[in-house]
């Protein structure tokens, strides 16, 4: 076995130069799918949802049957 191969096999994972580039790619891709930067204040979201929801009459029945169908 050559010295370089032996060093590569005994080196801990993630310590080589290729792992740095791989980590950069992973961080870049994760940044593309990060939804937290577009997240509004949770209190504003709750207020907006509660202001526009009327859970009575037809909406209540639709909600009930949607929950029933989703649980099957």
- What pLDDT sits at residue 66? 95
pLDDT per position as a tens digit, 8-51: 556 565 555 568 888 999 988 988 888 888 888 889 888 888 88
Contacts for 14 with CB less than 8 Å, ≥ 6 apart: 23
The domain locations on the chain are 17-71
Region 47-69 average pLDDT: 86
For 52, which DSSP code?
T
* Rounded to 5°, angle at Cα 28 from 23 and 34: 120
Round to whole Å and give the CA distance between 41 and 45: 6
The residue whose two tokens read 């590569």 is 8
Round to whole Å and give the CA distance between 51 and 62: 19
């Amino acid at each position: 076995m050559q010295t370089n191969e032996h060093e590569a096999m005994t080196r801990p994972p993630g310590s080589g130069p290729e792992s740095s580039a791989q980590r950069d790619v992973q961080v870049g891709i994760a940044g593309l799918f990060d939804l937290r930067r577009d997240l509004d204040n949770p209190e504003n979201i709750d207020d907006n949802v509660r202001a526009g929801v009327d859970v009575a009459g037809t909406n209540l029945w639709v909600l009930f049957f949607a929950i029933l169908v989703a649980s099957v």
